[in-house]
Amino acid sequence: MARSAAVPVAPFAARLVVAVGLLASLGACSSISPWTGKGEDLQKPFDPTTQTAEQLYSNGVDAMNARNFQTAGRQFDMVEQTYPYSTWAVNAQLMQGFLFYQMNMYTDAIGALDRFIQLHPAHRDIAYAYYLRALCFYEQIADIKRDQHNTQEAIGALQEVVNRFPDSSYARDAKLKIDLARDHLAGKEMEIGRYYERQHLYTAAIGRFQRVVDDFQTTNHVAEALHRLTEIYLILGLPEQAKRTAAVLGHNYPGSEWYEDSYNQLLAVGEVTDTQGKPEPSQRPGLLSRTWRSIF
């Protein structure tokens, strides 16, 4: 899924100084730089009096702002390797995850963020770390013609942000993205259902359309799913089920093109007549689950 231009800017990325706790386990860092692949920068003699941890970190931020991501990554690496017990080393870990994300290296970003979350669960920017991790899954969502495993992963990661940090701006954005991801999953179900219908595999098609009605009631695909069910019931010679499904469609989406199509199909086979007119739309539309259960 394409990266949104409205992704919230991380408060972490906008700050140079963040107060954090020290963690002794940082000393176990690898000597190989993920930014060089060879670790040549880290094997050179380094005089700690030449540049402080703060200076190295500041250099990394400057390089990142200039979009020199490899240089920034090496600077943050140097902070971790040379000053592993400093607060700057903790900050550098999160910044590495952010850099990988900026470079669309999502697997590396998730790995770096998982490490940060595990080592620093009480960090002041932990909500952002979870949110950025969720974005890494969200931005890998494929079109509906492909496997939707990443969509499920994204929904799970976004929901974790909502559950852990319900009052944050990250949670608000995560909720919107969950709705979009669920709409995407519903679209996949519709695509499969339409394929089954074209192949005359009506039982399989009904299962897919029914799942959209039952599990994705807040998405944009429900009206079409109800129409497709009406259509299939008529094909199978089940006019009562067709009329009841069309009634649910008319109750919840009285002005939709899908209801018009369903009504015209019922009219064409004599299940309704012109003199009857269309069923009166409900004065309280949108009660899909209640109406569905009461009819079926």
- How do residues 207-227 score in pLDDT, each as one tens digit? 999 999 999 988 999 999 999
Q: State whether residue 244 is helix, strand or coil.
A: helix
Reply yes or no on whether the pLDDT at 18 is more than 70. no
Looking at 96, 115, 134, the residue that finishes a domain is 115
Q: What would you measure as the largest C-alpha separation in the chain, in angstroms?
A: 92
Could you give the count of Cα atoms lying within 13 Å of 241 in the half-sphere of its Cβ? 14
Q: pLDDT digits over 230-260, tens only?
A: 999 999 999 999 999 999 999 899 888 999 9
- The DSSP symbol for 52 reads -
Is 204 part of any domain?
no
The CB density around residue 266, as the number of other CB atoms within 10 Å, is 20
Reply yes or no on whether the pLDDT at 34 is more than 80. no
Q: pLDDT digits over 88-132, tens only?
A: 989 999 999 999 999 999 999 999 999 999 999 999 999 999 999
CB 123 within 8 A of CB 135: no
The pair of structure tokens assigned to 20 is 């954090």
CA–CA gap between residue 32 and residue 91 (Å, rounded): 19
CB 169 within 8 A of CB 9: no
Is 194 part of any domain?
no
Is 159 part of any domain?
no
Looking at 81, 115, 149, the residue that finishes a domain is 115
CA–CA gap between residue 254 and residue 280 (Å, rounded): 8
Could you tell me which residues come within 8 angstroms of residue 36 by beta carbon, excluding any fewer than 6 positions away? 74
Looking at 90, 115, 140, the residue that finishes a domain is 115
CA–CA gap between residue 70 and residue 54 (Å, rounded): 19
Is 213 part of any domain?
no
Provide the pLDDT confidence category of residue 2 given band limits of 50, 70 and 90: low
CA–CA gap between residue 4 and residue 72 (Å, rounded): 24
The CB density around residue 67, as the number of other CB atoms within 10 Å, is 10
CA–CA gap between residue 82 and residue 255 (Å, rounded): 66
- The DSSP symbol for 26 reads G
Is 16 part of any domain?
yes
Long-range own/partner contacts, residues 155-163 (CB < 8 A, 24 or more apart): 155/181, 155/182, 155/185, 157/130, 157/133, 158/134, 160/130, 160/134, 161/127, 161/130, 161/131, 161/134
What is the domain extent for residue 29? Answer: 6-115
Is 251 part of any domain?
yes
CA nearest neighbour of 44 among 72, 82, 76:
82
Number of domains observed in the structure of the chain: 2
Q: What is the pTM of this model?
A: 0.71
Place of tokens 């250099």: 59
